[in-house]
Amino acid sequence: MHLVALTGGIASGKSTVSARLAELGAVIVDADKLAREVVEPGTDALQKISDTFGADLIGPDGCLDRPALGKRVFGQPEQLQKLNAITHPAVHRLGLERITAAGEADPGAIVVYDVPLLLEASKRPYDFDFVVVVSAKEETRVKRLVELRGMSEVDARSRVGSQATEAERLAIADAVIDTNGTLDETIAQADAVWQTVRALPGIGARSATASGAGA
């Protein structure tokens, strides 16, 4: 099994790349989906969020009001750190379960861990064979958030600013996919990265291993 990290800032185009890699045969483990699972009604993480940030964030149906929580933590580093300390360890445990299961089902699998906050980790949660960074200019990302997700420009810039910088992400990349161009150009780059990953030696020689909380 090969374990590939796919990371990029909000509105970088990472979801497009992830979808293309899935079409090509990758097993995708999506950290955002895991993050939603670990705060489902009845979970320990949801109770801790309620205790830390207020019971008003839990709706009558027992579900987390994610937009309200976002407004409470984004742009406030101390509050965001508190939230990360609750959710990240839970996401990591669940991610490791999914990655391990994928490797057991197919020792030759290429598993792509789609993780926005790879650099925000205090420690790397898994042992990655290859790191792919999806990159777009800050202004491009802000424009996408405003036009495609309906955010105000202030909220968009706050979300972008709460994450690692492009320079920090690019410094850890084994490969970079630049999404400032057309969709076809992005897909072509994803295809090229897939061929690179498929050519990596030692499929099955390495496995995902937990290395602590963070990310």
Residue 15 annotated as binding site: yes
Number of Cβ atoms within 10 Å of the Cβ of 130: 18
Residue 209 annotated as binding site: no
**57: which DSSP letter?**
G
CA–CA separation, 21 and 112 (whole Å): 8
Number of Cβ atoms within 10 Å of the Cβ of 62: 10
> What residues are paired with 130 via a beta bridge?
4
Segments in 25-165 forming alpha helices (H): 31-37, 44-53, 66-73, 77-105, 138-149, 153-161
Residue 12 annotated as binding site: yes
Number of Cβ atoms within 10 Å of the Cβ of 7: 26
Residue 211 annotated as binding site: no
Query: Which burial class, exposed, middle or buried, applies to 61 when counting CB atoms under 10 A from its CB (0-12, 13-18, 19+)?
Result: exposed
Residues 192-197: contacts with CB under 8 Å, at least 24 apart: 193/21, 193/132, 194/21, 194/24, 194/25, 194/26, 196/130, 197/2, 197/4, 197/110, 197/130
Q: What is the CA radius of gyration of the chain?
A: 17
Q: Which residues are annotated as a binding site for ATP?
A: 11-16
Q: Which residues are annotated as a binding site?
A: 11-16
